[in-house]
Amino acid sequence: MKRANKKGKKIIGWLLFLAAIGLCCVQGVYFLLENNYSVEYIDNRLFYVINLLIIVFMTLTIFLLLTIEKKWKIIISSFAAALILLQAGLMINHSYETKQVISFSPELNHQLVIKEDSDTSQAAYYRTRYGLFVRPKEDLPYQTSGDYKVKWLEKDIAAVTYEATDRTLHQYIGTYGARDGGISYSYVASMTRGQWKGETAQVTNSSEGIVIEHKGETEHYTHENMVQFGTLALVLMENNEAKWTIALNENFESNSNAPEPPAGEITLYKATMEKNDPISLEYISATD
């Protein structure tokens, strides 16, 4: 019984040692990617969490695999505790320095990642590159006030609504897919030409621009006031502020190379920091 117990400790000790070595390799890959490709962890706190796990695993490995005196156990435990407190403190400090917005798609296969420098209020949008690692794609065009609202309009479209430091309202759209097979770059305004109707809103997209009818109010947007994100979404602007997002639903088909009108649905989403739901619209007729 005693021998079996000792053997079990040895097995656990070696498993923890291998786990610690594996985590050290992960950190090594991280340093390599960071230095050469400006890559970061999807959540910056992972760096410190992995360090904590390495410390814990190595400490347990020593206790399980080696026979050491009590005083050395106390010294090793104290040293490990000091390292753990140091890593925890660095993690908390980093959380104050960098604000992170991390949101997973409904099917968990896409991640929206935004990281903001607390000192400059400048935020950057990141794309996943290597599993746990992300790389900055571009800066958000306005300095932010620090508040974000994320809404997944489809499993591959995420709308981020935020206020800038000048109190203007903006939307940034993360897109992670394509429609019509993604063979070529396509323009949302052209693909959604026609009249679209939902329960509480109607969209008329013509050569003169886009008209939104919602709750008795009518708003007109020219092509100069449209900002496209990827090939899946379009943000309508007025006075340098976001007003609406138009996104292509998963079932949308433009039929751009055929005489048939668009099929499927589009989504209309109002830019507001208050809680609101997207509006699904169906094609009803053609325009000029």
For the cut 60, the answer to whether the pLDDT of residue 281 exceeds it is yes
Q: Given pLDDT bands bounded at 50, 70 and 90, which one contains residue 8?
A: confident
The model's confidence at residue 127, banded by pLDDT at 50, 70 and 90, is very high
Closest CA to 195 of 272, 282, 274, 108: 282
pLDDT (tens digit per residue) in 26-68: 999 999 999 999 999 999 999 999 999 999 999 999 999 998 8
Residue 6 binned pLDDT confidence (cut-offs 50, 70, 90): confident
- What pLDDT digit, counting tens, does each position of 142-158 carry? 999 989 999 999 999 99
Task: Give, as one character, the DSSP assignment of residue 263.
Answer: B
Residue type, 229: F
Q: Provide φ and ψ at 215, rounded to 5°.
A: 50, 45
Lowest mean pLDDT among 4-8, 48-52, 94-98, 215-219: 4-8
- The pLDDT assigned to 23 comes to 98
Q: How far apart are CA 192 and CA 254, in angstroms?
A: 7
The CA dihedral of 31, 33, 36, 38, to the nearest 10 degrees, is: -100
φ, ψ for residue 62, nearest 5 deg:
-60, -45
Q: For residues 287 and 193, what is the distance between their CA atoms, to the nearest angstrom?
A: 7
CA nearest to 125, candidates 109, 142, 139: 139
Closest CA to 173 of 119, 263, 110, 96: 110
Instruction: Flag whether pLDDT at 138 surpasses 70.
Output: yes
pLDDT above 60 (res 1) = no
Q: What's the one-letter identity of residue 118?
A: S
Using alpha carbons, select from 246, 251, 270 the residue that is nearest to residue 193: 246
Q: What is the pLDDT of residue 215?
A: 92
**Does the pLDDT of residue 96 top 70, yes or no?**
yes
This prediction has a pTM of: 0.89
Average pLDDT, the chain: 93
Residues 13 and 64 sit within 8 Å (Cβ to Cβ):
yes
Q: Name the nearest CA neighbour of 176 among 109, 234, 118, 121.
A: 109
User: What is the reported pLDDT for 186?
Assistant: 85
What's the average model confidence in pLDDT over 64-89? 95
Strands 157-164 and 144-154: antiparallel
Query: Which one has a higher pLDDT value, 117 or 181?
Result: 117
Contact (Cβ atoms closer than 8 angstroms) between residue 136 and residue 125: yes
Burial label, 28 (beta-carbon count in 10 A; 0-12, 13-18, 19+)? exposed
What number of other Cβ atoms are within 10 A of residue 272's Cβ? 13
pLDDT for the residue 3: 67
The CA distance from 55 to 80, in Å, is 6
- What count of residues does the chain have? 288
Q: What is the pLDDT of residue 24?
A: 98
pLDDT tens digits for range 231-279: 999 999 999 999 999 999 999 998 766 678 899 999 999 999 999 999 9
pLDDT band at 182 (very low <50, low <70, confident <90, very high): low
What was the pLDDT predicted at 2? 62
